[in-house]
Structure 1
């Protein structure tokens, strides 16, 4: 049974550790930590920074969910980067090539992205279950390959359109766009609602379905799961495909809510950020949401550090320090709980007396 200490202490320790490490980094750079923190927080209330932070967090959230699904099966799907880029360009091409009724058009784009992401994840999944190839190696290779695929597909001889000096896919018609939500001076991605629904579906699958139980059981011990009748190879295949499908949605909020096209210069790196966000959130949908918001806040507020003569790269150090702090904090509490459990067992076995003392009191 999980103790209150396991739930409460790790986040508190992580906050303390990260603040200390970040403060030391700021002091070394010659900055006042309190002034730097105040400047970053103040930036959140300027212009559209708050809305932009939530929009970026939506993208990070989907990426974190994709990674977390693999983590549940002890799979390190480092290929979310390649999967979402492949899915984005395929969905953009398909979405720009058709004109459908408003809702149907959006659903069509989402389905294409899901299928494309799952298809790109199927390669490492099949190699894993049939040949035992490490998913880390195969997905890293596929991340490198996807750049060439995107460049080929956005070539003017294929599906690309040259706009100025940039190559893009055909623009998606208004019927394929998700309306944004006006909020202050900015607009919140309407896709944030869909992302929240996906997070709930992820939670429901893990905690309220047999498949979720088998997935977690297989991740804990494939041997024990096999003894209970669970096919570990089948679970590995399904987990990778699900992870790839969710990864396929990572760039969709921007595609259907802001850009309406996918360009050769479209933002990269969301997949790798998802790994950090999943670690921050401990694979829990609520924790991943908080991790995504924190990461997006640091990204968006980093530019404000230059106002107080602090290099914006300090924000990157902060992000790394936070991930490290979370990992260390959970490990400390985990070991403390294990030691406490061992002491309880020792006391129970010795009838409440020190285990090394005999009936007569002699050692």
Structure 2
């Protein structure tokens, strides 16, 4: 038994290592074919970042982590919530408008805006959930369409809610009062930037996610439904209800994705607000196998690659988009590696069972 556990652990660790090594080889091949410096690019990417770089990595990873958890909630039930990008857009806009109005003082205003963001994100994801349970519409199709509606709708509403900023070409909502900002902290004295204080809320979200999935009846029903809807129905689980609740929870967490940026840096929602975070969450959730720790590692890896690729254009005249190739290859190879490990594990279990049955048969034969 001990040897089997060690083998499974080795396989679990070996799969992502193999994926990273494969991504390294493929990216190096692309660089060589393009005539770029392979050693120069990897030397820059794998260099140790300074305090500013470390801070940027942690901040980006915080946002990526929330996006990954939002996607993972749906993945646990075989629901593909591709709409996190649209959900966090509408949620961030709503939170910025509410916080900018400052109807409540200080941090009460902050809490009110964050709760509103979660409710708006849940409501936007709930549309896809309702379409799935009432009309059988695939959540993949509906969430993709809702992404487009969210992008255009927020752009239209932003023009209506924007305030004049003399000397600036950026269209943005009212600035959130400083008393409602979430303060950060510096990694070292004199560092030019601060780590988002929302980091601690993201950690709490990860802990709650793990507890709900692994220590509650709802989490058990969620995983059971994801494994087999037929078996779930036979055991008395209301599958349609589970689908709707899962989409609502996924959307609520998606509503938090833009909050670190909104309350820790931008302090308003504008035309330059970061986009594409929802799609990164899909890759990170796959990379982390929907586990809170795995998602955290994936978020840090993606954030590290993003940060380290920024100077490539200036230093080596290499497009930082090469990192997008690396990230994509990592996801593909990880998925393939995990599937190979899963199949090998099944064969290993079958072999162990067959060996055990043979031993019992031999014992019975010896007794006879």
**TM-score normalised over the length of structure 1:** 0.92
Report which stretch shifted further, 101-110 or 239-248.
101-110
Compared with structure 1, are the counterparts of its residues 97 and 213 closer, same or farther at alpha carbon in structure 2 (3 Å cutoff)? same
Q: Which residue of 2 aligns with 1:160?
A: 162
Does 1:38 pair with 2:46? no
Return the alpha-carbon distance in structure 1 between the equivalents of residues 74 and 265 of structure 2: 29
Task: Count residues in correspondence.
Answer: 352
Does 1:122 pair with 2:130? no
Offset from partner CA, 1:318-348 (integer Å, 9 cap, x none): 1111111211111111121122223233334
Does 1:55 pair with 2:59? yes
Offset from partner CA, 1:267-314 (integer Å, 9 cap, x none): 210111110111111101111111111111111111222313433221
Does 1:341 pair with 2:349? yes
- Aligned 1:244-263 pairs, distance under 5 A: 244-263=251-270
Shift of 1:99: 4.2
Quick check: 1:127–1:133 contact (8 Å CA) kept in 2? yes
Compared with structure 1, are the counterparts of its residues 6 and 207 closer, same or farther at alpha carbon in structure 2 (3 Å cutoff)? farther
Q: Which residue of 2 aligns with 1:195?
A: 202
Does 1:140 pair with 2:140? no
Shift of 1:351: 4.7
Quick check: 2:99–2:176 contact (8 Å CA) kept in 1? yes
Offset from partner CA, 1:130-182 (integer Å, 9 cap, x none): 11100001011110111221122212xx3221323222111111222101112
Return the alpha-carbon distance in structure 2 between the equivalents of residues 100 and 175 of structure 1: 11
Root mean square deviation of aligned Cα: 2.0
Shift of 1:50: 1.4
Does 1:7 pair with 2:12? yes
Q: Which residue of 1 aligns with 2:34?
A: 29
Return the alpha-carbon distance in structure 2 between the equivalents of residues 319 and 15 of structure 1: 9
Quick check: 2:51–2:187 contact (8 Å CA) kept in 1? no
Shift of 1:12: 2.3
Aligned with 1:315 (options 323, 329, 335): 323
Structure 1 gap ranges (5+): 354-358
Quick check: 2:130–2:244 contact (8 Å CA) kept in 1? yes
Compared with structure 1, are the counterparts of its residues 31 and 166 closer, same or farther at alpha carbon in structure 2 (3 Å cutoff)? closer
**TM-score normalised over the length of structure 2:** 0.90
- Aligned 1:1-363 pairs, distance under 5 A: 3-42=8-47, 44-46=48-50, 48-155=52-159, 158-163=160-165, 164-184=168-188, 185=191, 186-306=193-313, 307-351=315-359
Return the alpha-carbon distance in structure 2 between the equivalents of residues 153 and 322 of structure 1: 38
Tell me the SS of whatever aligns to 1:310. Answer: coil
Offset from partner CA, 1:89-114 (integer Å, 9 cap, x none): 01111111124232212111110110
Return the alpha-carbon distance in structure 1 between the equivalents of residues 303 and 49 of structure 2: 14
Tell me the SS of whatever aligns to 2:171. Answer: strand
Return the alpha-carbon distance in structure 1 between the equivalents of residues 49 and 153 of structure 2: 40
Quick check: 1:5–1:333 contact (8 Å CA) kept in 2? no
Quick check: 1:41–1:301 contact (8 Å CA) kept in 2? yes
Tell me the SS of whatever aligns to 1:19. Answer: helix
Structure 2 gap ranges (5+): none
Return the alpha-carbon distance in structure 1 between the equivalents of residues 347 and 23 of structure 2: 25
Return the alpha-carbon distance in structure 2 between the equivalents of residues 179 and 130 of structure 1: 44
Quick check: 2:131–2:137 contact (8 Å CA) kept in 1? yes
Quick check: 2:44–2:309 contact (8 Å CA) kept in 1? no
Return the alpha-carbon distance in structure 2 between the equivalents of residues 115 and 330 of structure 1: 35
Return the alpha-carbon distance in structure 1 between the equivalents of residues 323 and 39 of structure 2: 14
Return the alpha-carbon distance in structure 1 between the equivalents of residues 46 and 52 of structure 2: 14
Return the alpha-carbon distance in structure 2 between the equivalents of residues 31 and 298 of structure 1: 18
Report which stretch shifted further, 24-33 or 310-319.
24-33
Return the alpha-carbon distance in structure 2 between the equivalents of residues 312 and 174 of structure 1: 35
